[in-house]
Amino acid sequence: MPAASRRLIAGNWKMNGERAAGLALARDIVAELRGAHDRVATVAVCPPFTLLHPVAEVLAGSAIKLGAQDCHDQLSGAFTGSIAAPMLADAGCTFVILGHSERRHRLGESDALVRAKLGAAWQAKLPPILCLGEQSSEREAGATLDVVGRQLADSLPPGDAALVVAYEPVWAIGSGRVPGRGDIAAVHTFLRQELMRVRADGEAIPILYGGSVGAGNAAEIIGIEEVGGVLVGGASLNAASFAAIARAAG
């Protein structure tokens, strides 16, 4: 991790959270982390679109940031059912997750589409969290670095606007399986080299790890020198677990 950066601990609620439960979760996270986390890490929650405005109100006055889980590649227009990056900024978001493997593999998002979405996020001054990661067959074939290298090259537009990268092996997401420390470090080191090749600020871009991070393994994963924080799915739906992960960043 670059020496001067703060770690980023981001919770991806995915398609979970109706109003009462989502607001209770946000309130509990604020209460759990009051005064504790902001010295050491940036903490963000990424609820579904329907909860962005009310969760923004719950987070007001805390140091916890709001993020979104996706945006359209255009800034406005006749795109029924879609949400544009400026709407997310307007709702109080300071991050947007893009290229998550559930969208790449289950909804067929291509690198080209992800790249266009990053362009839209940048136009809205919304830092994207660009997700990359190999599938289990690709890891077994020894193709992990080729896959993440290609995803990075093809999903990252030219430019130097704010960026976070998240390495999320597809087979580790929601599975309880986590790569070994050495495997995580190797992919992060490779991504760092690639970022330094294409961006003047490549050394300072946070590179997160995501995939089955929980209260029990967060300290070990965040303790890997190359890891700049974590993107948390399932464990971010429990305030105590998410707070424990955030505290592990200290």
Q: Backbone phi, then psi, for 34, in 5-degree steps?
A: -50, 120
Residue with Cβ nearer ligand PGA (163 or 235): 235
CB atoms within 10 A of CB 155: 25
Residue whose CB is nearest to ligand PGA in the complex, by number: 233
Closest distance between ligand PGA and the C-beta of residue 232, in Å? 5
Catalytic residue, from 100, 109, 134, 226: name it: 100
- Residues interacting with ligand PGA, by CB under 6 A? 12, 168, 173-174, 210-213, 231-235
**What is the nearest approach in angstroms of ligand PGA to the Cβ of residue 213?**
5
Q: Choose among 180, 184, 250, 173: nearest CA to 214.
A: 173
Within a 10 A sphere around the Cβ of 231, how many other Cβ atoms? 27
Q: Please say which residue, 122 or 242, places its beta carbon nearer to ligand PGA.
A: 242
Nearer to ligand PGA, 71 or 235 (CB): 235
Catalytic residue among 102, 109, 134, 168: 168
Whether 100 is catalytic is: yes
Cβ neighbours, 10 Å, residue 215 = 17
Min dist CB 115 to ligand PGA, Å, is 20
Could you tell me the CA-to-CA distances from 178 to 8, 88, 170, 205 in Å, in that order? 19, 31, 10, 23
Question: CA-CA distance, 64 to 92, in Å (whole number)?
Answer: 11
Q: CB–CB of 98/114 below 8 Å?
A: yes
Q: How far is the CB of 7 from ligand PGA (least distance, A)?
A: 16
Establish whether 32 is a catalytic residue. Answer: no
CB–CB of 115/154 below 8 Å?
Answer: yes
Cβ neighbour number for residue 174 with a 10 Å cutoff: 13
CB-wise, 196 or 244, nearer to ligand PGA? 244
50 or 175: whose CB is closer to ligand PGA? 175
Report the C-alpha gap between 71 and 117 in whole angstroms. Answer: 7
Q: Specify the amino acid at residue 165.
A: V
Nearest distance in Å: CB 236, ligand PGA: 7
Q: Active-site residue numbers? A: 100, 168
